[in-house]
Amino acid sequence: MGYFIQVIIDALSLGSLYALAALGIGLLFGVLRLINFAHGDFITLGAYALIVPAYGPNAIRFVADFHPVLLVICTILIVVAIALISEFLVFRPLRYASAATLMVGSFALSYVIQNLIIMIYSGRPKSLDLWSVLTEIKFDVSGVDIALLPLLIIAVTLILMALLVLFLKRTPWGVQMRAAAEDFKMARMLGVRANFVISLAFVLSGALAAVVSLLFEVQTGILTFRMGTPLMVFAFIATVIGGMGSLVGSVVGGMAVGVVSSILQAGLPPEVRGYRDVFVFGLVILVLLLRPQGIVLSRAARERV
Amino acid sequence: MTTLLKVDNITVHYSRLAAVRNVSVDVSEGEIVCIVGPNGAGKSTTLLTISGILSPTEGTVTFGTKNITGANPENVARMGISQVPEGRHVFTALNVEENLRIGTRMRRDRGEIEKDFNMVLEMFPVLAERKRQSAGKLSGGEQQMLVIGRALLTRPKLMTIDEPSLGLAPKIVDRVYEVLTDLRNRMGLTLLIVEQSSERALKAADRIYVLRSGQIQLSGNAKDLRDGEKVKQAYFGFTEGVKHVGEVAF
Amino acid sequence: MVSTTEAGRDRKRPSFKYSIEAKGPILLTVRAWWPPVLWSIVLLLIVVIVMGAGSLTMQKTLIDALIKLMVVVGLYVFIGNSGILSFGHIGFMMIGAYAAAWQTCCPKTKKLFIPGLPDYMLTHQFPFIVSVVVSGLLAAFIALIAGSVLMRLSGIAASIGTFAFLMVMYSFYLRWDPWTRGASTMTGLPVHTDSWVMLAFCVIVMFGAFVYARSRYGLSAKASRDDEVASKAAGVNVVGQRLLSFVVSAFIVGMAGALFGHFLGILTVDSFGLPLTFITLAMLVVGGMQSLSGAVLGAIVISTLFEALRQLEVGFDVGGTLVALPGGGREVGIGILMLVILIFRRNGLTANQEIYWPFRGDAMAKTAMTRRS
């Protein structure tokens, strides 16, 4: 029983991280039809924002020593600023390009960011202890220790999703974003500013990336210049599985990918356990073929048919 | 009457193909002007150029005293041109009220918004009943009311409408035109309507332009053209006839 | 965009009609085949110069660059003709590279590192050229299987599918210890690939790609690229034509993978990931995705730039102090170059055109050259 609970909690916390990252990708895809490969690097940069930009082998703490509230705010601000700069320098000039060109553009941006990190911080992994106490606190549930951190990740994810829903449903900006995501031209003809809505999407996406990077950093305690890439890859396939352009789909997809990988990890016989990711990625191709619109049919798509 | 919108000799290309060549259209304040023409004549292209979705390769668009050629669609909207594009384009992810209110965000006269909102709901009671429903669940006619109401709520100086009768039952089309004429008569709204049916246009409009193959074939007061013969000729393009009519009309 | 091929045919047809311009059959043939002929000459010159005057490091760099060029030509065969962006072709390169290792490593090494191979493979060793072709065929076969699924998708979904394909192959090879040594390094491949071998292969695939692009099949694939619905209506089997270009390109990329294995002598799964995908895609994008000249020119330009930036990373002396670009700097440079090209010259340096026969004031050739469609 205890083992079972542990597997479930781990699955949900992994799914939560994927869901948060997938939301960041899904938001941009919704508004801009951009598949942002650089989202993983936004996550990486959030973690690197914690230390002094220096080439040496050790991490010199910077933002990491701030008061927790200030630390969170600073990280979010830094990543949001990077997301906005990316929008301005790369994605705004490419706005009317095809989805494929945008995808290549974000791929190039991702490559540039990763190598900039190597230039500034060196390519070596650096260990950075952040709030490791969270991983040490454990509860005893029917004889099995349950760590606090996974529970915290799940809680943070739920809170952020609730806030995002409130924002999209209850605020005029949110309504504008939903309108633009469905029919950008029409929204513009009603005076919705394209630059504003797109920048807003980048702000939200960047803020989500910053939160993911903090949670992920606390979990791993190591900084590498490619730490965000696996998160991006899984989050990206999560948005495909869930249904591109649907935020609910991103969340469901993220959870699905997290839960499926955790369950495969726990349930597969040891000799094929290593091939877990093969199954997860194979799932994407399957979904693309059988249900190209994703698990969650976005409302817009359903009602237009 | 002062000229509100002046489309001066515009040519619009889709990559290398000219969809519209040397088209000029004037709309004065308080007028209803109709552009009629068969499929592919360039009607929608003309409207999309006015609202800034497309940019002309030649010619200018002037609104009031401002040159709006190639301006952003959002800025054109903010200057007071509200477009109801073809196929209605309601936001199905939004409910009826959100749809209606989205265009009010750019208005400066905050105090007037509620008044206008109530006016639109009065005008279209069906929208009031379904305020909280998803706009995708409305019928075609209701959606047409919704987009007209939505455009009205931006409080435009000029409203352009692309094929308001598309896909609607004749009875509902009558109702739509009733509403449009009423808007002009009561509120002095200026309207530029694109229509395929020349009969309908002749009934509703003060002046009409006949557009075919990307060029204006004929223009004039609807009253003078009421018998419809010349319009038909221009519309269908019996060449000799058109030349003749064209000369007479100008 | 009915680009290069149409212009090419227009030019070719009159050259037979107006015999005044024809200067004998050899010149005519050369002119008709000008893009691959031109690039073969360019590559030959580069190889001769580097082999004659370059350092050993430079010669190594040249081989590496030629391998990438071959991969890019392979990418062009699919992306240029079908119009679908592929993020998965490095997977075929990996398949080819490991297939080469299975064939050409000496039995002792195989037993030690990859004991999972079938007995026949374990005990036999195959010649170099055979292994390259067979590796390409294996990649083509996998492309046939994967492609018959993926090519049903179109546009961005197909691109996502190819990305997923790369991820599937990557994570599979990373775990397939008995055949690939998994995350460890596979060593012991005999080193056969030198500049001349690479030059030969590059010339062959350039001509092959050119023939394919001009053939009925290449034209059908292009038709589906320019207008999927219209070409379907005109009777083009869109899925089939895409699949064919996918298989042909996988064959080329697979062979490049095998040559890569025989160049380094060692293999790691890690080297066939997103960075290599990026570099090769960048070469194609920078040159121009829809022409052979674009693929080759892009590969040459980026490789040269990469090498020049590497010199900067090594550092040079400025008034007694060593000035050097920090590590990662050249990758940043390439990435920025690619973004600049994407933003300001979306059709690449060649504007998606082939480079045609420029001599003799040939009126038809000139019109063909200046025609931009």
Contact by Cβ (8 Å): A276, A260: no
Q: Which of C329, C334, C342 sits opposite A104 (nearest CB)?
A: C342
Instruction: Give the pLDDT of residue C21.
Output: 54
Q: What is the C-alpha to C-alpha distance for residues A234 and A20, in angstroms, rounded to an integer? A: 11
SS3 A30: helix
- Does the beta carbon of A284 lie under 8 angstroms from any beta carbon of chain C? yes
Q: In whole angstroms, how far apart are CA B160 and each of A84, A165, B163, C58, C319? A: 35, 34, 10, 66, 69
Which residues 32-51 of chain A have a CB within 8 Å of chain C? 35
Chain A residues whose CB is inside 8 A of the C345 CB are none
Mean pLDDT value across residues C254-275: 94
Chain A residues whose CB is inside 8 A of the C171 CB are 275, 277-278, 281
SS3 A31: helix
Q: Which of B53, B72, B98 sits opposite A175 (nearest CB)?
A: B98
Mean pLDDT value across residues C203-222: 92
Q: Which span out of A210-219, B76-85, B204-213 was modeled with the highest average pLDDT?
A: A210-219
Instruction: Give, in degrees to the nearest 5, the angle at Cα C159 between C153 and C164.
Output: 95
Average pLDDT, chain C: 85
Encode pLDDT of B101-111 as tens digits.
988 888 888 88
> The CATH number of the domain where C147 resides is what?
1.10.3470
List CB contacts of A146: < 8 A, sequence separation 6 or more: A5, A6, A9, A138, A139, A140
- Does the beta carbon of A71 lie under 8 angstroms from any beta carbon of chain C? no
- Does the beta carbon of A53 lie under 8 angstroms from any beta carbon of chain C? no
Percent residues over pLDDT 90 in chain A: 52
Query: Token match 């050097």: residue?
Result: C324
Q: In whole angstroms, how far apart are CA A84 and each of A119, A172, C144, C289, C346? A: 22, 21, 42, 29, 23
Encode pLDDT of B46-92 as tens digits.
999 999 888 899 999 999 888 998 889 999 999 899 988 887 789 98
Instruction: Give the pLDDT of residue B246.
Output: 39
Encode pLDDT of A108-149 as tens digits.
999 999 999 999 998 889 988 888 888 888 877 777 778 889
Q: In whole angstroms, how far apart are CA C307 and each of C119, C197, C330? A: 43, 21, 9
Give the right CATH number for B3-249 from 3.40.50.300, 3.40.630.30, 3.40.50.1820, 3.40.30.10: 3.40.50.300
Chain B residues whose CB is inside 8 A of the A181 CB are 93
List CB contacts of A225: < 8 A, sequence separation 6 or more: A44, A114, A117, A118, A121, A123
CB spacing of B83 vs A189 below 8 angstroms: yes
Instruction: Give the pLDDT of residue B228.
Output: 66
pTM: 0.87
Mutate to test the interface with A, among C154, C174, C343, C352 (most CBs of A within 10 A): C343
SS3 B6: strand
| Poorest-pLDDT segment among A13-17, C212-216, C295-299, C308-312 | C308-312
Chain A residues whose CB is inside 8 A of the C160 CB are 35, 240, 284, 288
A266 or A76, which is more confident?
Answer: A76
Q: What is the C-alpha to C-alpha distance for residues A94 and A105, in angstroms, rounded to an integer? A: 8
Mutate to test the interface with B, among A171, A189, A297 (most CBs of B within 10 A): A189
Which residue of chain A has the CA closest to C178? A271
- Does the beta carbon of A268 lie under 8 angstroms from any beta carbon of chain C? no
- Name the E strands within C249-304: 266-267
Q: Which of A101, A281, A288 sits opposite C171 (nearest CB)?
A: A281
CB spacing of B85 vs A189 below 8 angstroms: yes
Mutate to test the interface with A, among C162, C163, C309, C341 (most CBs of A within 10 A): C163
Distance to chain A for C217, nearest Cα, Å: 24
**pLDDT class of C23 with cuts at 50, 70, 90:** low
Q: Is the dihedral of CA B188, B192, B197, B201 positive or negative?
A: positive
**pLDDT class of C156 with cuts at 50, 70, 90:** confident
Instruction: Give, in degrees to the nearest 5, the angle at Cα C348 between C345 and C352.
Output: 120
Chain C residues whose CB is inside 8 A of the A101 CB are 342, 346
**Helix or strand (DSSP H, E) at A93:** none
C-alpha R_g of chain B: 18
Q: Name the residue among A284, A244, A241 with its Cα closest to residue A32.
A: A244
Kindly write down the DSSP assignment for every residue of C165-196, as one continuous string. HHHHHHHHHHH-HHHH-TTSPEE-------HH
Q: Name the residue among A4, A7, A16 with its Cα closest to residue A253.
A: A16
Q: In whole angstroms, how far apart are CA C366 and each of B169, C21, C369? A: 58, 13, 5
Encode pLDDT of C331-354 as tens digits.
999 999 999 999 998 888 888 888
Mean pLDDT value across residues B155-174: 85
Mutate to test the interface with B, among A186, A195, A302 (most CBs of B within 10 A): A186
For chain C, list residues whose CB is within 8 angstroms of any CB belonging to chain A. 84-85, 87, 149-150, 152-153, 155-157, 159-161, 163-165, 167-168, 171-172, 175, 274-275, 278, 281-282, 285, 326-329, 331-332, 334-336, 338-339, 342-343, 346
**pLDDT class of C292 with cuts at 50, 70, 90:** very high
Which residues 110-169 of chain A have a CB within 8 Å of chain C? 111-112, 114-120, 122-123
Contact by Cβ (8 Å): A48, A117: yes
Encode pLDDT of B22-44 as tens digits.
899 999 998 999 998 888 888 88
The number of domains in chain C is 1
Chain B residues whose CB is inside 8 A of the A299 CB are 92-93, 134, 136
Question: Crossing angle, helix A194-220 and helix A68-86, to 10 degrees?
Answer: 130
Q: Is the dihedral of CA A3, A7, A10, A16 positive or negative?
A: negative
Query: Token match 């360019």: residue?
Result: C42
Chains touching A, CB cut-off 8 Å, 3+ pairs: B, C
CB spacing of C161 vs A288 below 8 angstroms: yes
Q: Is the pLDDT of residue B241 over 60?
A: no
Instruction: Give the pLDDT of residue C7.
Output: 43
SS3 B5: strand
Q: Which residues pair with B23 in a beta bridge?
A: B10
The domain limits of chain B are 3-249
Q: What is the C-alpha to C-alpha distance for residues B89 and B92, in angstroms, rounded to an integer? A: 8
Q: Is the pLDDT of residue B244 over 60?
A: no
Q: Which span out of A103-107, B183-187, C54-58 was modeled with the highest average pLDDT?
A: A103-107
Instruction: Give the pLDDT of residue A87.
Output: 95
Give me the domain span that covers residue C303. Answer: 4-370
CB spacing of A97 vs C175 below 8 angstroms: no
The domain limits of chain A are 2-229
Q: Name the residue among B165, A51, A114 with its Cα closest to residue C273.
A: A114
ipTM of the complex: 0.89
In 3-state terms chain C splits into helix, strand, coil percentages (rounded to 5) of 75, 5, 25
Mean pLDDT value across residues C44-66: 91
